[in-house]
């Protein structure tokens, strides 16, 4: 009977169902039912024609009634953290929708009708079971943010290049083996992240996305980058772990001093740590060289003439065999980690110097006492 009610907030309760009389709240614009125990929605929810925001996240919903498609004024629909295996084709009726959040569900596909959501700006489908992304996604002409993280996608549709307003595209932790060359058509793309996939190359057409500033391709199988990448004004480029599971190739060499036949590889020789720091910082040799800006021209000259090969493991058997090996290339530290590590080294050095200073002062005091005792 609350006919004039505009906002109803019922989040974080233990509601298991909604009364069908809810449909009588014809002026309702906001309905928040997040974090309850709802298993079903009444079909009458489609009668809330003035509804603009509908939050259903954190429930037990296995489906969304097709009547939801009647909510022509709906701007935001959040059905994250449920048990949805599909979305109704009638979702195409949400012609005013700008935000669609379906994270953490069980979706394998998105309905083709999603392409009719011409005002859709944000689409989050992360942590589902998507095996493909519908071609109609290219018709979502207003899309600015597309999050596909943690699915099972092996490819992206060519139509993705039609998303001229797309600013942020995240497809981390999927099974992508290639990217469509049409990706270059995303002329507004600013952040593109495909971390932890199975990419062996990046299409040169990516340089056509001239607004691209952040590119994350870490954790793939890249052997090279396209030269066209140099035309972009990148501010951040992540490349680590593209060789995280190599088999090192050893070469035979001759020790110039002893004439002895030896084995060497791309990881040898390594930079020596500072002599004064060996006792206290046995594992910080590389950091010490960073702090002191040390250089070793001899090392560089020897490294130039060395030929080595690194290949990716092709099957699980090789991966199991590789786990038994002791020589593994470790990931390059994140720049932020390097700064912290450098700061740690500097703090340790300062502590050492301070300790030396205390010892020096203590010796001076002892000498002074000795002198006074002697004079007395």
pLDDT tens digits, one per residue of 278-314: 444 444 444 444 444 444 454 445 444 544 444 444 5
Q: What is the average pLDDT across 55-71?
A: 96
Q: What is the average pLDDT across 160-178?
A: 97
Specify the pLDDT at position 288.
44
- Residue of higher predicted confidence among 290 and 77: 77
- The pair of three-digit structure tokens given for residue 319, joined into one six-digit string: 């991966």
Q: What is the average pLDDT across 199-204?
A: 93
Confidence of residue 365 (pLDDT cuts 50, 70, 90): low
Determine the Cα angle at 360 with ends 354 and 365, to 5°.
125
Specify the pLDDT at position 299.
45
Q: Are 56 and 74 in contact (CB under 8 A)?
A: no
Specify the pLDDT at position 275.
55
- Show the DSSP H helices in the chain as ranges: 285-292, 297-304, 316-323, 335-375
Q: Please report, for the chain, the start and end positions of each structural domain, with discontinuous segments joined by +.
A: 7-264
> Is 205 exposed, middle or buried, given 0-12, 13-18 or 19+ CB atoms closer than 10 A?
middle
CATH number of 7-264: 3.80.10.10
Phi, psi of 351 (to 5 degrees): -60, -40
Grouping H, G, I as helix, E, B as strand and the rest as coil, residue 372 is helix
Question: Who's near 242: CB < 8 A, 6+ residues apart?
Answer: 217, 218, 219, 220, 221, 222, 223
Specify the pLDDT at position 241.
85
Which long-range contacts (C-beta less than 8 Å, at least 24 apart) are formed by 279-284?
A: 280/348, 280/352, 281/345, 281/348, 284/341, 284/345
Question: Can you tell me the distance from the alpha carbon of 71 to that of 68, in angstroms, rounded to the nearest whole number?
Answer: 6
Grouping H, G, I as helix, E, B as strand and the rest as coil, residue 73 is coil
* Least confident segment among 45-49, 195-199, 238-242: 238-242
Specify the pLDDT at position 341.
77
Phi, psi of 276 (to 5 degrees): -70, -5
- Residue of higher predicted confidence among 371 and 241: 241
The mean pLDDT value of the chain amounts to 83
Residue 51 scores a pLDDT above 50: yes
Residue 206 scores a pLDDT above 60: yes
Question: Can you tell me the distance from the alpha carbon of 224 to that of 242, in angstroms, rounded to the nearest whole number?
Answer: 10
- Other beta carbons within 10 Å of 71: 24
Residue 117 scores a pLDDT above 70: yes
Determine the Cα angle at 30 with ends 16 and 66, to 5°.
60
Residue closest to 106 by CA, chosen among 136, 81, 133: 81
Phi, psi of 30 (to 5 degrees): -130, 130
Confidence of residue 203 (pLDDT cuts 50, 70, 90): very high
Residue 21 scores a pLDDT above 60: yes
Specify the pLDDT at position 281.
43
pLDDT tens digits, one per residue of 225-267: 999 888 999 999 999 888 655 556 677 888 888 888 877 776 6
Specify the pLDDT at position 266.
66
Question: Who's near 290: CB < 8 A, 6+ residues apart?
Answer: 338, 342, 345
Q: Are 211 and 234 in contact (CB under 8 A)?
A: no
pLDDT tens digits, one per residue of 311-351: 444 544 544 555 454 455 555 566 666 777 777 888 888 88
Specify the pLDDT at position 343.
79
User: Would you say how long the chain is, in residues?
Assistant: 376
pTM for this entry: 0.67
């Amino acid at each position: 009977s609350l006919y004039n009610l505009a906002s109803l907030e019922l989040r974080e309760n233990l509601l298991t169902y909604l009364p069908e009389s809810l449909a009588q709240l014809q002026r309702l614009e906001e309905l928040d039912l997040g974090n309850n125990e709802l298993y079903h929605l009444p079909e009458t929810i489609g009668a809330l024609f003035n509804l603009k925001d509908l939050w259903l996240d954190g429930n037990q919903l296995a489906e969304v009634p097709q009547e939801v498609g009647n909510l022509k004024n709906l701007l935001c629909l959040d059905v994250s953290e449920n048990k949805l295996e599909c979305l109704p084709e009638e979702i195409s009726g949400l012609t005013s929708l700008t935000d669609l959040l379906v994270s953490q569900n069980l979706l394998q596909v998105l309905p083709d009708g999603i392409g009719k959501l011409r005002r859709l700006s944000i689409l989050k489908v992360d942590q589902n079971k998507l095996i493909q992304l519908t071609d109609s996604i290219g018709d979502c002409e207003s899309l600015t943010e597309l999050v596909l993280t943690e699915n099972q996608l092996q490819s992206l549709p060519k139509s993705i290049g039609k998303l001229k307003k797309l600013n942020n595209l995240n497809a981390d932790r999927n099974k992508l083996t290639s990217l469509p060359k049409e990706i270059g058509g995303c002329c507004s793309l600013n952040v593109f992240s495909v971390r932890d996939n199975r990419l062996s190359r990046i299409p040169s057409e990516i340089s056509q996305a001239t607004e691209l500033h952040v590119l994350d391709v870490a954790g793939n199988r890249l052997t090279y980058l396209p030269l066209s990448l140099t035309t972009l004004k990148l501010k951040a480029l992540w490349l680590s772990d593209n060789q995280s599971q190599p088999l090192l190739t050893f070469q035979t060499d001759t020790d110039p001093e002893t004439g002895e036949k030896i084995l060497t590889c791309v990881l040898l020789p390594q930079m020596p740590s500072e002599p004064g720091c060996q006792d206290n910082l046995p594992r910080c040799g590389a950091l010490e060289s960073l702090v002191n800006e040390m250089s070793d021209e001899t090392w560089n000259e020897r490294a130039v003439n060395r030929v080595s090969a690194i290949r990716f493991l092709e099957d699980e058997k090789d991966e199991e065999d590789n786990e038994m090996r002791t020589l593994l290339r470790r990931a390059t530290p994140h720049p932020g980690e390097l700064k912290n590590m450098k700061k740690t080294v500097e703090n340790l050095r300062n502590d050492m110097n301070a300790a030396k200073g205390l010892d020096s002062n203590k010796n001076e005091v002892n000498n002074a006492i000795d002198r006074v005792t002697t004079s007395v």
